[in-house]
């Protein structure tokens, strides 16, 4: 029996979390889901969007999966998602981006992996108003975090039989901060001679990914570029509805889709549960449930390829729960 913390999140989070949970349970593996709530809805009760007991549950179980949580824009509380990654030192954000057959996209054979540094950079939100008309945000990059994420990218490349790691930066302009990130990646690369290494300036990387995605394999990026390039890569495979992810630390892993809480679709049983379901595939692999992971992956890919019981973003009319039902039926048929 696995004990896993499940944070449904808000917006579309609860619907896709329920779909994911039903799909995973249908594989027959035994999971005790410890449901914990975070975000704006718990503010009035606990005075914080991320109560200590939520962190404690994840620290105890070591494995968590979550739906997206809304972050107020401009003012209000800081991102719960970023806080979770920092508090639990989930330093590596892993986002595999691969084409699924049957999805309408300009590209058909995308197979890219984003490894995003998760703990520092402008994402730390270290900013202030200097005066009424001047704002400042501090970009802090450390050798320790840069080497750690580069090592993660190379180890991942070896474990997954990948060929190349590309470090992405803007070291021509931010010679200090991005320069340190690049220098760290270059130094780490020397320890992995079996994996090809190169670097790209982030703007060029974006153009290259749109024009020649087949030239790239694993990319390692500082936090903010990783965030932006993740959505670009989701666009290459047909949208955020099918882009999974994981936040991984030395002891704890937290799985979540690349997309956010899409508030305007909340409660409509409309959005695609695939990104969270594919995040659960990463989770099942991580906890050693390889057979269940394969079942969920194959069943999801089959439903997407058939294109009948799929959500609006994939050209269908099915709701979130109907798509989950179709995936469960496939899992049962797969035996
Ligand atoms: P979003 O990812 O929530 O949605 C952007 C658009 O992508 C949606 O309007 C929709 O068209 C599409 N989309 C997203 N998920 C989909 C799905 N499962 N199926 C089909 N289509 C889908 O981005 P946003 O609107 O910029 O952000 C909304 C909120 O989510 C913000 O508060 C943001 O801070 C938060 N957010 C949270 C996380 C997280 O929890 N890790 C990540 C990103 C954004």
Tens-place pLDDT, residues 134-171:
999 999 999 999 999 999 999 999 999 999 999 999 99
Q: Give the model confidence (pLDDT) of 57-116 as tens digits.
A: 999 999 999 999 999 888 778 889 989 998 999 999 999 999 999 998 999 999 999 999
* Separation of CA 3 and ligand 1 centre (Å): 28
Mean pLDDT computed over 303-310: 97
Atom index in ligand 1 nearest the CA of residue 262 equals 3
Atom index in ligand 1 nearest the CA of residue 12 equals 18
How does the average pLDDT of the chain come out, rounded? 96
pLDDT, residue 151, reads 98
Residue 334 scores a pLDDT above 90:
no
Half-sphere exposure at residue 205, Cβ-oriented, CA atoms within 13 angstroms = 26
User: What architecture is domain 1-104+238-335?
Assistant: 3-Layer(aba) Sandwich (3.40)
> In the structure, what pLDDT confidence band is assigned to residue 212 with cuts at 50, 70 and 90?
very high
pLDDT, residue 36, reads 98
Q: State the fold for domain 121-222.
A: Nucleotidyltransferase; domain 5 (3.30.420)
The answer to whether residues 95 and 114 touch, using CB atoms and an 8 Å cutoff, is yes
Atom index in ligand 1 nearest the CA of residue 271 equals 19
Q: What is the pTM of this model?
A: 0.95
Euclidean distance between CA atoms 278 and 156, whole angstroms: 18
The answer to whether residues 281 and 94 touch, using CB atoms and an 8 Å cutoff, is no
> In the structure, what pLDDT confidence band is assigned to residue 40 with cuts at 50, 70 and 90?
confident
Q: Going by CA atoms, what residue is nearest to atom 31 of ligand 1?
A: 70
Q: Put the strands of the sheet holding 218-221 in their side by side order.
A: 31-35, 2-7, 63-66, 253-255, 246-248, 92-98, 111-117, 218-221, 164-169, 196-201
Q: Going by CA atoms, what residue is nearest to atom 10 of ligand 1?
A: 262
Q: Where are the domains of the chain?
A: 1-104+238-335, 121-222
Euclidean distance between CA atoms 13 and 273, whole angstroms: 9
Q: Give the model confidence (pLDDT) of 219-249 as tens digits.
A: 999 999 999 999 999 999 999 999 999 999 9
pLDDT, residue 74, reads 80
Q: Give the model confidence (pLDDT) of 243-252 as tens digits.
A: 999 999 999 9
pLDDT, residue 78, reads 83
Pocket of ligand 1 (CB under 6 A): 68-71, 81, 240-241, 256, 259-263, 271-272, 275, 313
């Amino acid at each position: 029996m696995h004990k896993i913390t499940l944070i449904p999140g808000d917006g579309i989070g609860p619907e896709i979390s329920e779909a994911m949970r039903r799909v995973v349970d249908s594989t027959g593996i035994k999971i005790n889901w410890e449901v914990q709530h975070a975000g704006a809805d718990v503010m009035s009760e606990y005075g914080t969007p991320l109560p200590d007991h939520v962190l404690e549950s994840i620290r105890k179980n070591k494995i968590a999966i979550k739906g997206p949580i809304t972050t107020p824009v401009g003012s209000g509380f800081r991102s719960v998602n970023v806080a979770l990654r920092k508090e639990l030192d989930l330093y590596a954000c892993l986002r595999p981006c691969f084409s699924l057959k049957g999805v309408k996209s300009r590209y058909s054979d995308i197979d890219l992996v984003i490894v995003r540094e998760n703990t520092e950079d402008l994402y730390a939100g270290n900013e202030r108003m200097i005066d009424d008309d001047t704002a400042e945000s501090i970009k802090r990059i450390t050798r320790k975090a840069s080497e750690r994420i580069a090592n993660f990218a190379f180890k991942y490349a070896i474990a997954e039989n990948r060929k190349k790691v590309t470090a992405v930066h803007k070291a021509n302009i931010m010679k200090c901060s991005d320069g340190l990130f690049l220098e760290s990646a270059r130094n780490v690369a020397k320890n992995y001679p079996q994996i090809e290494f190169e670097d790209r300036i982030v703007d060029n990387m974006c153009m290259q990914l749109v024009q020649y995605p087949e030239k790239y394999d694993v990319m390692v990026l500082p936090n903010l570029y990783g965030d932006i390039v993740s959505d670009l890569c989701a666009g290459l495979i047909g949208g955020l509805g099918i882009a999974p992810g994981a936040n991984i630390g030395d002891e704890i892993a937290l799985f979540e889709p690349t997309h956010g809480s899409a508030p305007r679709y909340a409660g409509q049983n409309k959005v695609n549960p695939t990104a969270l379901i594919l995040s659960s595939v990463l989770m099942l692999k991580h906890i050693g449930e390889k057979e269940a992971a394969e079942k969920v992956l194959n069943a999801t890919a089959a439903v997407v390829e058939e294109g009948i019981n799929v959500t609006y973003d994939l050209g269908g009319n099915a709701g979130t729960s109907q798509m989950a039902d179709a995936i469960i039926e496939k899992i049962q048929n797969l035996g």
